[in-house]
Amino acid sequence: MAKKSKRNSGPKPGSNRAAKLEQRRLEREAAAATSRPFEGLAFECDLVALREFVPSALAELPAAADGRRVVGATILPGGVAALVREENGAPVAYVGLQLAAGFGPDPAGELAAALHWAHTAEPGSSLQVASVDDDTPPLAELIDPAAVPAITVHNDFDWWIPAGVEPSAEIAHTVKHANEAVLPSARLEGDGLRGAWWVDPGEKAHLRWVRPEDEDALMAALSRVHAAGGLHLGEGSRFAGSFRTHGLLVPVFDLDREKHPDEWVAPTIEFGQRLDEALAVDEPLTAAERRSRDGLRSRQVTLR
């Protein structure tokens, strides 16, 4: 007699696997419902920047458990969700943070699905779309929430081609075309700075500072600083507005593009100190500060 097929039978009700899958389902639903899908990660602000507006950068993702090296990449060739290639005799996984197909309702789950696939996929393989299913672990099981990864900013996509590999004419053309579209960018690094990025799209450069605070508290603090005349980064700067993305508020400043990004580190730190002082105030806004808040809110947009 032939053995009964177990295909599609699924985990038995009451089994450990069934309980684990149900727990994962509840965690995914909770993550998808939150307006801050990456809340709890120490590098939440930089991760959001890498997903939203940094053209070309790589981040050594902090694995929650020992395993192969995994790199978060702003964009991968063809906009794939992940790929694995061999480097120095070992498999290295690359996970795309900006997806050609856009983002679904559960960005944390999609990133987790891509990471889960990348941990075991063979070199030379790629994942077109990261689909969340019952076997997708929570993101916190795949990335150490307390770790802050090293981030390398590039002004081209030459890293798409592994070292020592001679690309075909088609691939070389693709990389050349991508390089021509890259906007110069830099991550500002200094005392207390995290999630602060300089980007030069052309006529003016910009500072885009992804902030971790509650939106209402941050908007109140920005209003206090504005009313006091301190909403700027000094000469050659102007507050341009703000946008919301992944549940976070991102103040934006227009900057003199003739200045090197490093020249904006000290002014940004000084502005951050003014903002921190305003965040510490626990009193109702004054009439002038409320007018400032209304004006700042009128210049807000939401990306997603």
Sheet holding 205-209, edge to edge: 185-187, 196-199, 205-209, 248-255, 237-245, 300-302
* Beta-carbon contacts of residue 135 (< 8 Å; ≥ 6 apart): 21, 24, 116
> Helix crossing, 16-33 with 107-118: angle to 10°?
130
What is the predicted pLDDT for the residue at 42?
Answer: 94
What is the predicted pLDDT for the residue at 7?
Answer: 44
CB 90 within 8 A of CB 68: yes
CA distance 258 to 300: 27
What is the predicted pLDDT for the residue at 74?
Answer: 97
What is the predicted pLDDT for the residue at 253?
Answer: 97
CATH number for 186-302: choose from 2.40.128, 3.30.1460, 2.60.120, 1.10.3470.
3.30.1460
What is the predicted pLDDT for the residue at 14?
Answer: 59
b vs e for 222-234, b when ≥16 Cβ sit within 10 Å of the residue's Cβ? bbbbbbeebbbbe
Q: Which three-class secondary structure string do you get for 24-46?
A: HHHHHHHHHHCCCCCCCCCCHHH
* The token pair that represents 124 in the structure block: 């030379």
Using the structure block, give the residue that is written with the tokens 């007018």. Answer: 291
How is the chain split into domains, by residue range? 43-180, 186-302
Q: What is the mean pLDDT of each run of 10 residues along the chain (304 residues)?
A: 46 60 53 75 96 96 79 94 93 90 79 93 94 90 92 96 87 93 95 94 93 96 98 96 95 96 97 98 96 91 66
CA distance 183 to 258: 15
pTM: 0.85
What is the predicted pLDDT for the residue at 168?
Answer: 87
| Residue 215 DSSP SS3 | helix
